[in-house]
Structure 1
Amino acid sequence: MAKTQLNVRVDEGTARAARERALARGMSVNRYIEELVRRDTGEAGRAFVEAAADFMKQYESVFAEEFDGAAPARSGPAGPEDREGTREGRR
């Protein structure tokens, strides 16, 4: 992806905070600000929603069994009722 230079003026306190936060995260100030803008524009939010949707698809039958009492056949990984010490195992 091509890069464009963007010059921004901020007060010294904001610049210091940006430098400190970037350093704490092990990244450049440029990368830190780029990530803040991406997060603000929703790219991270979309990725989270997609991951959550995949998770729900994978565990749909587990949730249905737990909360509805009936569910379609499970094709994903073992759910909570398959592990010892869960609510199902204590009944």
Structure 2
Amino acid sequence: MAKTQLNVRVDEATAETARERALQRGMSVNRYIEELVQRDAGEVGHTFVDAAADFMKSYESVFAEEFGSRESEGRSRT
């Protein structure tokens, strides 16, 4: 996979923390930051899925009334 270079400015304390955490994990600062971004992007995806599931649960009765429930579909097919 091709890599793109980013230049990021942070205060010295943040830079030192990034260096220390990367060293503790046995990886470069670049890889450490890359993993942080990937993890954050994954959390956004999980947050969306969780919110969608909550929405569906909240409106389950409305969908069942409008489109039929799963239980009634399962019984009618047997």
Identity rate, percent: 84
- The one-letter amino acid paired with 1:20 is E
Corresponding residue of 2:30: 30
How many residues are aligned here? Answer: 45
After superposition, give the CA deviation of every residue in 1:47-80 in whole Å (9 maximum; x if it has no partner): xxxxxxxxxxxxxxxxxxxxxxxxxxxxxxxxxx
Q: What is the Cα deviation at residue 21 of structure 1?
A: 0.1
Q: What is the Cα deviation at residue 25 of structure 1?
A: 0.2
TM-score (norm 2): 0.54
Question: RMSD of the alignment, in Å?
Answer: 1.6
Q: What is the Cα deviation at residue 9 of structure 1?
A: 0.1
TM-score (norm 1): 0.47
| 4+ aligned runs moved over 4 Å, structure 1 | none
More helix by share: 2
Q: Is 1:5 paired with 2:8?
A: no
Gapped runs of 5+ residues in structure 1?
47-91
